[in-house]
A and B are shown apart, each in its own frame.
Chain A
Amino acid sequence: MLSRVADSLYWMSRYFERADHCARVLEANYNLMLNPSKPSREQRWQRITAALGLSVQLSSPDPQTNVIRLIGEPRLPSSIVACVTSARENASQVREQISSEMWERLNQLYHEVTQSSMQLRDDSEPLRLISVFREGTYRFQGVTDSTMNHGEGWHFIQVGKYMERACGLSALLDAQFSTSVGADHLDWVGLLTSCSAFEAYCKVYTAELNPSAIAEFLLLYPDFPYTVRYSAEQMHRALLSLANISAARKASIIERIIGKLQSSLAYTQIDEILVRDLHPFLAGVIEQCHRVHAAIHEVYIEYPVESVFEA
């Protein structure tokens, strides 16, 4: 497979997951802000922007305005529109590589989001659009899994998706726990819903919302798709398949980093992490993800030509 194609598939998938992350966080928090509560709105907005990895502060204190910007402002990185546009741009570069059903879904979603985000005046519109979008992402994921060869390209899509998810979840957890003083019951519900995890959590821990149990679940639980550990394991699997398919000589560089990350998530207990504070651990996860990303780039995408001819 051409390196450029692999790169486009990877980024298509990352941007798509990023848009989905934004949609989940917005949906959960928008609902949250309808209730009077202890943390101020400013605090919550700070948390949201941190969870979305935005360096800019949203200027307006009005939640309606902010939500509308985060959905529909194309110049705001991480906004749903910006991410879907980037995902589509990447997909259009490799249209002959993805299935036509995938392209149609993505295209349709793009048109829905760009067109309706222009006219989000009505009160209930933002939420409705978010739910339309989330419905669309499920369909896109389903179509991706059922209409495409599960070969090299699909594995790059998987790597992108879980890479983005691991980073997004880590940023979200970090934002939540670093501002958790004064957090109330609803805040914790909001965190779990941001990860589509409320029901899944309750099945394991009952509805008793205990911060360290929540941290354990979202970080270390192996069997739920929106946890950091699950994401790292999926990423690892996909990367192993890629190493087998491409027989790249230097794939062991990637294996070393992702293997380490995965085992630290598999063999560390939440108490050990919480003793030393969650933040350094999460920052470490993100840092290792960045290293995996850089290694993928170096092994598969932008490898120096000289290195090939030395052999």
Chain B
Amino acid sequence: MATTSQPTERTAPDPFSAYQIQSAYDEMFRSPGRPRSHYRPLYSRLLSLRPDELRRSKHEADLSFFNQGITFTVYGRSEGTERIFPHDLLPRIISSSEWEVIERGLTQRITALNLFLKDVYHERRILHDRVIPGEIIYTCKHFRRQMRGVKIPRDVYVSVCGTDLIRLPDGRFVVLEDNLRVPSGVSYMLTSRKVMKQIFPLLFRKCGVRPIEQYSQALLSTLRSLAPEGRSSPTIVLLTPGVYNSAYFEHTYLARQMGIELVEGRDLVVHDNYVYMRTTSGLQRVDVIYRRVDDDFLDPLAFRPDSALGAAGLFNAYRAGNVVLANALGNGVADDKAIYAYVPAIIRYYLGEDPVLDNVETFLMTDDVQRRHVVDNLEKFVVKAVGESGGYGMLIGPHSSSEQRAQFRERILADPRNYIAQPTLSLSTAPCFIDDEHIEPRHVDLRPYVLYGEKVTIVPGGLTRVALRKGSLVVNSSQGGGSKDTWVLQG
């Protein structure tokens, strides 16, 4: 079919006819029919497309994801169900000046959090100076006593971080969550970019989208920069929990992109505090492990004895400095949701600067006054368990039943340290192609990926997660969320 028709014969209905801007900040529109300047090329392109063309593009994209086997596993069902990662066709666009702020804020944040982790596991100045109550550190279930005094290469604890940002109605980006342990999702960012380039080549050229394809290379350099001293050509591996892990696709993808070996715990052998992998030509020494296995499971001798995912003796080899783990052990103490409330103070304490990116207002359930206020008004709050992620263990007040609220009230009162509350925020909305029909606004967040080795590297982009269900605020893929390609424009 020829598609050389002139854009003038537009008898088709406006794809935006069902687009209703709500009280949330809309990424695309300033007001109905008036797109923000950095969205204009996309807007006019969409108006020039017939609905079936958009549909065709959507199917093309879906097929491409399907063929590449880009799937994730949903837990909580028998034997883990594999699903194609839901993907929305329309890119989320960020202007260069907006990105500049994000970049500065994230760099500041990762720098401060690294200093914090080093301090917590060494001198504990911040506790002596009473900026943070010691109790909150020692009651954190991700605090690792074993890490006290352990020397880390370059003092880099967080070498890979995925920070969740949301945009408030006034247009400011704020940090919702730091993921400093084993953040995932970067493969979706990379693969969806590849698909989008096939579908919107013209738009790419017109908009000036900054590239993100260098991520794998940057990750590899970051890992290499952490190698133990004297190991000039270090062996770097990616440690995966195995095929049944929800992010297994990402592990294979990154290993292949970096050209490093994908290993499981049973491939590793520790001897005399050195780590080796078992190959057909004998044992080969391993220097840096990009581990995608949680702290608890890394070494049955040091942590959970029933773990079969790690390697016995790994922690001792790590402590001896013969192998490097990225991320470091014990990082969970810095992304605990109760400690999150102190991050602005942490930034001021170590850097003497005001935070570039603010936090979301957070109520600590350990504080009597704050707790009483929250428990009495649960329907207004989002309550989160401090150590959980992925949208599990969460109460969204406005969308909850009175039963659920009663349940959470009880849980909070029983274990206040385990919960925090935040006001229900209206995440910004971005246009999505819904039901193969029209374009509607849906809530989105943004997870850029920050790398820290010799220096801080942030590829311009990230994973935009979108709550595809109408009105929903939950963007996690395990809870009906999807993703969008994220375009950061050149200045």
Contacts and interface: CB of A to CB of B under 8 A. Distances in A.
B267 A3 contact: yes
A3 B280 contact: yes
A48 interface: no
Interface string B251-269: 0100110000111101101
B283 interface: yes
Contacts of B261: 2
Interface in B257-307: 261-264, 266-267, 269, 271, 277-283
A248 B282 contact: yes
B79 to A, nearest CB: 12
A4 interface: yes
B127 interface: no
A300 B267 CA distance: 13
B281 A248 contact: yes
Size bracket, chain B contacts: 20 to 34
B309 to A, nearest CB: 14
- From DSSP, what is the main secondary structure of chain A's interface residues? helix
A308 B282 CA distance: 7
A96 B257 CA distance: 11
B283 to A, nearest CB: 5
Contacts of A4: 264, 266-267, 278
A2 B252 contact: no
B243 A92 contact: yes
A74 to B, nearest CB: 14
A309 interface: yes
Nearest to B261: A2
Contacts, number: 49
Contact of B280 (A95, A246, A249, A309): A246
Contacts of A249: 282
Residue of B243, B262, B281, B283 ringed by the most chain A CB atoms within 10 A: B281
A34 interface: no
A204 interface: no
A248 B280 contact: yes
Interface in B2-44: none
A242 B280 contact: yes
Nearest to A247: B281
B314 to A, nearest CB: 15
Given A2-B263, A92-B243, A300 B252 contact: no
A305 B281 CA distance: 13
B279 A2 contact: yes
A6 interface: yes
Contacts of B271: 305, 309
A202 B221 CA distance: 63
Contacts of A3: 267, 278-280
Residue of A3, A248, A300 ringed by the most chain B CB atoms within 10 A: A3
A212 to B, nearest CB: 42
A131 interface: no
Contacts of A95: 252
B280 A1 contact: yes
Interface string A284-307: 000000000000000011010100
A303 B283 CA distance: 10
27 contacts: A1-B280, A1-B281, A2-B263, A2-B278, A2-B280, A3-B279, A3-B280, A4-B264, A4-B267, A4-B278, A6-B280, A92-B243, A93-B242, A93-B243, A95-B252, A96-B255, A96-B262, A242-B280, A246-B279, A246-B280, A247-B281, A248-B281, A248-B282, A303-B278, A303-B282, A305-B271, A309-B271
Closest 4 CB pairs of A and B: A246-B281, A3-B278, A96-B252, A300-B280
